[in-house]
Amino acid sequence: MTTTLRPSGPEQRDEAGARSRRYALLDNGRPVGFALLGAGAPGTTGADVGHIHELTVEPAERRVGRGTVAALAAEEVLRGWGCRSVEVRFRPAEDDGAVRMAAQLGYTELSRNMVTEVRPGAADTPLALPEGVTLREMSAEEYPEWLVVEREEFVRSWTDRGVPEERATAHAERSYTRLLPEGPVTPGTVLRVLESGGALAGALWVRTGEELPDGAGGYVYSVRVEAGHRGRGLGRALMVEAERICAEAGVDLLGLHVFAGNTPALSLYESLGYRTVWLNQVKRLG
């Protein structure tokens, strides 16, 4: 069996410079599937990150190792593009076999995209806050300091995964400019803080509206509990507040993104009914 990838269309570039190309999967010259490969735009955290957007083997051609050979061939194409790692994403409920194959090829979990249906009546759910803890809107005076901490955490989340600090910082600049163009009064943006004894105990950033990830009408972009206040159920209270906000806005699907290794957060989200819709995996190419 000689399984190869051959370009089946011209290379494409988007406005930011990210590249993609479609390939035919051939077995001794006979079409048996296709692949769509891509790589991030120059200057972003994904500049040297390749993506296997699609890799499909015809049903009659499966279970003889073609998918594994095709994935390895795709990695070689991406190496030729200068990629140092490759990312794939799966829908766990549908791509069980592909997830197992990726694990055999050395892919590990990078992050998850999760969603939950907003419960009827969620807007009226009472918050279980410890004595002395209050929840309120973030003030305009608090916003600049909150934003500094958010950006620092964002940069750290990428540098911890091998992205150079300069690139991670530039990515943060673009992301926060896009998501918060008008600061705390950006339409659809809700910012809440928890206060305990006059000190900040936690913060929540939720956005509602259109063009949010995974088709959700609401998205939790950040939920943070300060170190000295953890273990008191404040994270759960903030997530309940996120659902209340979405219910009041008429949203029926709430989403979020969580990096691998954040076990406490993942356990919390699962206990609140969030399910994984995308499993994002990565492999270093050497």
Mean pLDDT of 60-69: 88
Q: How would you classify the pairing of strands 253-259 and 218-225? A: parallel
pLDDT at 79: 96
Q: Read off the pLDDT band of 220 (50, 70, 90).
A: very high
What average pLDDT does the structure give for the chain? Answer: 93
pLDDT at 62: 85
pLDDT at 1: 55
Mean pLDDT of 21-31: 94
pLDDT at 94: 83
Would the pLDDT of 193 be above 70?
A: yes
Distance CA 64, CA 25 (A): 14
3-state secondary structure the chain: CCEEEEECCCCEECCCCCEEEEEEEEECCEEEEEEEEEECCCCCCCCCEEEEEEEEECHHHCCCCHHHHHHHHHHHHHHHCCCCEEEEEECCCCCHHHHHHHHHCCCEEEEEEEEEECCCCHHHCCCCCCCCEEEEECCCCCHHHHHHHHHHHHHHHHHCCCCCHHHHHHHHHHHHHHHCCCHHHCCCEEEEEEEECCEEEEEEEEEECCCCHHHCCEEEEEEEECHHHCCCCHHHHHHHHHHHHHHHCCCCEEEEEEECCCHHHHHHHHHCCCEEEEEEEEEECC
The per-residue pLDDT for range 261-278, each reduced to its tens digit, is: 999 999 999 999 999 999
Mean pLDDT of 159-173: 89
Mean pLDDT of 215-229: 96
Does the global pTM surpass 0.85? yes
